[in-house]
A and B are shown apart, each in its own frame.
Chain A
Amino acid sequence: MLPLELNGLSFAVGDTRIIRGITARIEAGPRTVILGPNGAGKSVLMRLCHGLLAPTDGRITWHGARNGDVRRHQAMVFQRPVMLRRSALANVMYGLVLAGKSRRESELRAMDVLEVVGLAPHASRPARVLSGGEQQRLALARAWALGPEVLFLDEPTANLDPSATQDIEHIINAIHASGTKIIMTTHNLGQARRLGDEILFLSNGRLMERTPIDRFFREPASPEAAAFIKGELPWQ
């Protein structure tokens, strides 16, 4: 499915332009972090790429094919995990069963993933009674179980405390190590530094720059990025 090509991608709601003409080519491999201040359009960009929103202008092309039913090979984790009113295990199985796997297969795969993320003891508990951090881990497990080629994450730890954040970041790295492409948004510089291999910096709906991680913090190419880095405290 990768590379993902964005061509003059734009999105507007009424008269408000949220994404203005973004052109980029995202390859398999490096962990891509989309960074930028609040309101820059990061979440909207993610949803456009994942197919939850339709662009008002421009094109999104996956490896030569238009954004049709490529959703099968992508998954997304949202800022707030949305759990179904059923057990943790059943939640993870949901997407697998939808994809056509037998219940037996789905259950086995789901248990495996729950093991890896450390939620196996909670498998039969109602998902909604788990803590915020546990639910987000569950959301990651649910996405990972589908074996996606690309995993989108929209500010996955914005609502979590530092220890839960750490757990999530470990899992994200594990998913990356297993071969899935990570595309993630954050406004947290420290997290970008820890989890990013390349940075796409967004400001006011425009792609300001695209820089590998080591260079981005030393010498950001755009003045907006420089201001952003300076403005944020280093330990955030």
Chain B
Amino acid sequence: MAIIRGASLVLALLGVLQGPAAWAQQKSITVASTTSTENSGFFKHILPLFKTRTGIEVRVVAQGTGQALDTGKRGDADVVFVHDRVKELALVRDGAFVNRHDVMYNDFVVVGPKADPARVSGGRDVVAALRKIASAKAPFVSRGDKSGTHAAELRLWQAADVDPAVGKGGWYRETGSGMGATLNTASGMNAYSLTDRGTWLSFRNRGDLLIVVEGDQKLFNQYGVMLVNPAKHAHVKKEAAQAFVDWLVSVEGQKAIADYKINGEQLFFPSAGR
């Protein structure tokens, strides 16, 4: 008796153990993207639109930019959709990806405590603001995880002629984690940080933090989409993946991107073909 009950439970659970073939039969592709894009709710908005149009299910694995690019290189995804133009182009040259298309951009903002110890609030010059933060030795939390955001941050410090490593462990804190976790830390420490607007708009644990610097051209963040090279990885679902890439840069896709708003604010700005 108990044996029969046990066996039926096993069979029910084995529904989970259908072979990988079953998963592949539904039309689906795997896209490696970034946690900031996922956290902003962007995919929840556009993927259903794509599915309605093509019937293709898109499975997004949200990792840091560095990890996502690595996932693509290994062939564990069909498409990579991140925001580190420099690294992306380098990998296309290396043959890991077929080519790169601009899709959209969003912008970064600097957030900081209401008390604003470095006196940067209201500014539009991010480089000047960073210089002030460094000289005031005001606490600054960085992602420190080789993500697109992290890469952008480091480029800004360079432009400001500041080596943040000097303040490591002191006023400059690296969390080695995603945007959300980093903001949690910044909120807890009442520190400055660099974040993408999307994550900030949907972030619920702001504490005393608010946007202190925005609008600088240097804060614009370019997203690119790339197809994993089928020549290197034969199993890549190239038709379905190409369909996704094509849709993102199409008029319809670009409109869907522009339509995504949080609290009436647009997060991402279409930039294909520019």
Q: Do chains A and B touch in the complex (CB under 8 A)?
A: no
